[in-house]
Amino acid sequence: MKKTVVAMIAFCFLAGCAFDAPQSKSAPLGTEIAIPKDKQTVLGLYASSKEAYAKWKADPSVKILDCRTPEEYIYVGHAPMAHNIPSKFTEYKLDAKKHPVMKDNPNFVVEVKKKFNSTDTIYITCRSGGRSAMSVNKLAEAGFKTVYNITDGFEGDAIKDPASSLHGKRVKDGWKNSDLPWTYEIDPQLAYLPAGN
């Protein structure tokens, strides 16, 4: 009897732990996936690149916002309908771990408000879902209500398998790897151009 009670308590504890991490609210029932902590947002709205594209295609009033740097947007490519409003800028130096140093765009929310209403449905992408999560949080704080984090981003996540020739390369999921439309062409109505340009 004691073993059964202990087993039931252990099961309830483990089941409870499994539900601690936010789940994708757009995934079909039974296929929810846990959202990594660095991709979580205060609004709790998540989508994959494929889901975001399907929503935009079904309703072009849906907005796609690319919060990567202008350099990433131009040289890595972008979704053809995505507005580029960077949440951070590159400082053109490396930190101790040899990662690019970035600084916040102090005008990010102001720039978004120039193009979108707080009632718009917006899907935000970055490289792989981290900066877009921070961007969602900034917009939520400014009163935006329906802002989704595209959790796999434009480039997707890196493969983590030292035995693979793809180790460290961003080829797992992401807009660019999901057979969705993307381009290098620049539409001046969508690209980020600082004031005066």
Render pLDDT for 5-46 as a digit per residue (tens, 0 to 9).
Answer: 444 444 343 444 333 445 444 444 444 568 999 999 999 999
- C-alpha–C-alpha distance, residues 190 and 197, integer Å: 14
Q: Is residue 194, in this structure, part of any structural domain at all?
A: no
Are 29 and 38 in contact, with CB atoms under 8 Å apart? Answer: no
Structural domain contains residue 43? yes
Does pTM surpass 0.75?
yes
Range of the domain at 141: 22-172
Pairing between strand 157-158 and 88-94?
unpaired
Which of 33-37, 56-60, 184-188 is least confident? 33-37
**Among 71-75, 92-96, 155-159, 190-194, where is mean pLDDT lowest?**
155-159
Is residue 14 domain-resident? no
Say which residues have a Cβ less than 8 Å from residue 24's Cβ, sequence separation at least 6: 32, 33, 35, 46, 47, 48, 151
Q: Is residue 142 part of a domain?
A: yes
